[in-house]
Structure 1
Amino acid sequence: MYLVTGATGNVGREVVRALLDRGAPVRALTRTGDAAGLPKGAEAVAGDLNDPASLAPALAGVRGVFFLPGYADMPGLLAAAKGAGVERVVQLSGRSAATGDMTNAVTAYMVRTEEAVRAAGLPWTIIRPSAFDANALRWLPQLRAGDVLRLPFAGVPIASIDPYDIGEVAAVALLADGHDGRVYDLSGPEPLLPADQVRILGETLGCELRFEAQPDAEARAEMEAAMPKEYVDAFFRFYVDGDLDESPVLPTVREVTGRDPRTFAQWARAHAGDFAS
């Protein structure tokens, strides 16, 4: 049995799918234990990642766990997994963890997560993807209002990755030998500007979408209404100050899975129905 946390999220859902595709039994963790939105065949189970003790039923009989990062008691979560007899952990992190910059709030929680994994006494694999193709789903409110997408960080190219590929890498690392103690930096197959993504999405949906660069001040105000200021500061340091470069295309997805990562166009085609709803 394999436990996937965050099982209804962009990445967790793909880890569940990839494990099921390989014939592995999957237990999918959600806060309520509701199976809605889970791939068919997954066993839904309730648990709170902010309360390691609540995971005891979810961890019973589990061989491997896929963990999300950034929870307040990552050492406690990993200790609970070890105490339950888990044999392997795959930990989601982020590309910025490589900088080790503890003054950046996002980087700091990724680094603390990785430190907890390394200290837990369990075989581990750490996965550090670039930004997700699925972040384009955040554009839905603007698309419902018209054909103009006003987006931040217009001059920043990112080799964003389809969560499908993160799920594939995670499943291989959980199921196959040879991945313990490895840190995998992941990217998509091409660096794209926001304007490129808007054009590709429009082509996929069969409509002409217009891109507008959002001024930094406007973007900051909008983001601060949705998330803590320290995280907004972190993203501005990444993409305005240039502290993080996610434009390089990395070979890791092919090296681990044997095939190239999916393009943004492929992601858009697979999720066209999400934009039509």
Structure 2
Amino acid sequence: MYLITGATGNVGGELTRALIAAGEPVRALVRRAGAAVPEGAEPVVGDLNRPESLTGALRGVRGIFLLPGYDDMPGMLARAGEAGVRHVVLLSGGSAALEDMGNAVSRYMTLSERAVRASGLAWTFLRARAFMSNALRWLPQLREGDVVRVPFPGVRAACVDPFDIAAVAARALTGDGHDGRVHELTGPESLLPAEQVAVLARVLGRDLRFVGLSDEEARAYLEARMPREYVDAFFGFNVDGTLDESRVHPDVERILGRPARTFDQWATTHATAFA
């Protein structure tokens, strides 16, 4: 049995479907009864911030796909070990390598990795770069018109398709050779936001216009959507240049035996979401 956290999200949902397609038993952790999970998964209610709520979820589980950043990661992992869990595949990010405790994103990524390392369980870290699915954040703008306003217009990123992250996670959970490994997951190309918008325009058949926000505009835009400590974190990455996500890594292709999916492929697959 495999326990998937975030099974209703972009990566967890793809992973749940991949494991079920491979004939593996999957338990999907949800916070409330009745939450929709991929067909074939066993939903189970629990809260990663309350390790005592996970007793039923952990029963009979051999491997966990774990999201980062919860309050009591050591307590949750201790319960997992007591329940007989053998392997944790942690979704992490490139900022974990910075170990910057003054940056809110780097801090929770770093502390999550440290907790997993200290747990005594076998582990695999998936340091995924920016998700291609982040483009879905532009949906409200696209519903209003053809202008897409984006923060940090000069910052390139080798964005990765959640489908590929999930495929690597499935290999790590069910295969050999991944224990104690850190996989750096990117797409096959490094794109500017304007280049992503141009791909969307072609795929959607729309005459989209890209507008890059100034730093002042970007701060106002982000502070309306997330806590200030995370806004400061992204300014550290993208304005101060503490994190470079433009480098393309070969890990997806090496592990899956095929090229990583392009942003064009992602956009084509998800075009109906923008309709």
TM-score range, shorter chain: over 0.9
Deviation at 1:235, TM superposition (A): 0.3
Matched position secondary structure for 1:93: strand
Q: 1:106·1:231 contact (CA, 8 Å) conserved in 2?
A: yes
Per-residue deviation at 1:255?
A: 1.3
In structure 2, stretches of 5+ residues that fail to align are none
- Structure 2 matches for 1:1-12, cutoff 5 A? 1-12=1-12
Q: Tell me the residue number matched to 2:28.
A: 28
Rounded to whole Å, the distance in 1 between the matches of 2:33 and 2:253 is 34
Q: Which residue of 2 aligns with 1:136?
A: 135
Q: Secondary structure of 2:69's partner?
A: coil
Map 1:1-277; keep pairs closer than 5 Å. Answer: 1-36=1-36, 38-276=37-275
CA distance in structure 1 between the partners assigned to 2:24 and 2:223 by the alignment = 41
Superposition CA RMSD, Å:
0.9
1:203: how far off? 0.8
Give the C-alpha shift of residue 216 in structure 1: 1.2
Paired positions, count: 275
Once residues 84 and 185 of structure 1 are traced to their aligned partners in structure 2, the CA distance between those partners, rounded to angstroms, is 29
Cα distance in structure 1, aligned partners of 2:82 and 2:264: 43
Q: Offset of 1:202 from its aligned partner? A: 1.1
The one-letter code of the counterpart of 1:232 is: V
The Cα shift of 1:25 comes to: 0.9
> Which deviations, in whole Å up to 9, do the C-alpha atoms of 1:230-263 show, x marking residues without a partner?
1100101101111111111100001111111100
TM-superposed CA distance for 1:201, in Å, is 0.7
> 1:35: how far off?
4.5
Q: Within 1, Cα distance between the matches of 2:5 and 2:44? A: 10
Deviations 1:131-164 (Å, cap 9, x if unpaired)? 0000000001000100000101100110000000
Return the alpha-carbon distance in structure 1 between the equivalents of residues 21 and 264 of structure 2.
Answer: 23
TM-score, normalised relative to structure 1: 0.97
Question: Does the 8 Å CA contact 1:34/1:45 hold for their aligned counterparts?
Answer: no
* Equivalent AA in structure 1 for residue 228 of structure 2: K
1:253 is paired with a residue of what secondary structure?
helix
- Structure 1 segments (4+ residues) deviating >4 Å: none
What CA distance in whole angstroms lies between the structure 1 residues aligned with 2:207 and 2:79?
A: 51
Q: Distance in 1 between matches of 2:244 and 2:218?
A: 20
Distance in 1 between the 2:186 and 2:272 partners?
24
Measure the CA separation in 2 of the matches of 1:50 and 1:117: 15
Runs of at least 5 residues in structure 1 that lack an aligned partner in the other structure: none
Q: Larger deviation: 69-78 or 221-230?
A: 221-230
- Give the distance between the partners of 1:9 and 1:217, measured in 2 at CA: 31
